[in-house]
Amino acid sequence: MDAALLLLADSRLPAGGHAHSGGLETAAATGVVHDLATLADFLRGRLATTGLVTASLAAAACAHARPGAGARTPPAETSPSDLAGWARLDAEADARTPSPAQRRASRAQGRALLRVARATWPGPVLESLAAASGSPHHPVALGAAVAAAGGAPERAAQIAAYGSVTGPASAAVRLLGLDPLGVHRVLAGLAGRIDAVAAEAAEGVRAGDLPAASAPALDVFAELHQQAELRLFES
């Protein structure tokens, strides 16, 4: 993976990802996740559902953006087909995010990522997305950012799948005081699954398919988190 793409996978990217736990905060508060073993179960489930969906959406967004990737100056105007493509992907993401709280969180993260990406890799790809939506869903913004940085849909899927577990894992250290070495051992054990999910997502997009794997528990966790009086994370 090129160094430019590693920036998008880095938790230090100033796009606000550290403020979102991916459902882990509620999972910890309810006792569903309380040690390394239950964290591993949570991350495996998240990767197989939300991880696959977000990886597929990111790959699809990157594939849509690729024809214009690499140019460094915005076009005079965005074509209607570009706008229609972004709108379709945004609607696909909406349809796969039944929780209103999750939709808000995804758009907040997408807005922040789009802002960072436009400053880092300015060009027609990101200007086209911004013209279609100032607050795109996070995986859509991620796919566009990967394309703008010169990456392929396979890399967009890999970064999305990776982020679907590393964010909650980091939150588990902060919320539960788990041993960071143990948490990273859990993540290392998931590396093969992350690659497999990314490959499945990219292959599905090439075949014209977007999966709709559901995770009802994460939807419930998102709504409970929104109602909590005290919380450390935005989602």
- Position 16 scores a pLDDT of 87
For the CA atoms of 34, 37, 38, 40, what is the dihedral angle to 10 degrees? Answer: 130
Q: Rounded to an integer, what distance in angstroms lies between the CA atom of residue 214 and that of residue 49?
A: 6
Which alpha helices (DSSP H) does the chain contain, by range?
A: 3-9, 24-29, 36-46, 52-65, 80-95, 100-120, 124-132, 138-148, 153-176, 180-189, 191-206, 216-227
Q: Rounded to an integer, what distance in angstroms lies between the CA atom of residue 235 and that of residue 221?
A: 9
- Position 6 scores a pLDDT of 94
Supply the pTM of this predicted model: 0.92
pLDDT by position in tens, the chain (length 235): 789 999 999 988 999 888 999 999 999 999 999 999 999 999 999 999 999 999 999 999 999 997 644 444 444 456 778 889 999 999 999 999 999 999 999 999 999 999 999 999 999 999 999 999 989 999 999 999 999 999 999 999 999 999 999 999 999 999 999 999 999 999 999 999 999 999 999 999 999 999 999 999 999 999 999 999 889 999 8
- Position 71 scores a pLDDT of 40
- Position 132 scores a pLDDT of 93
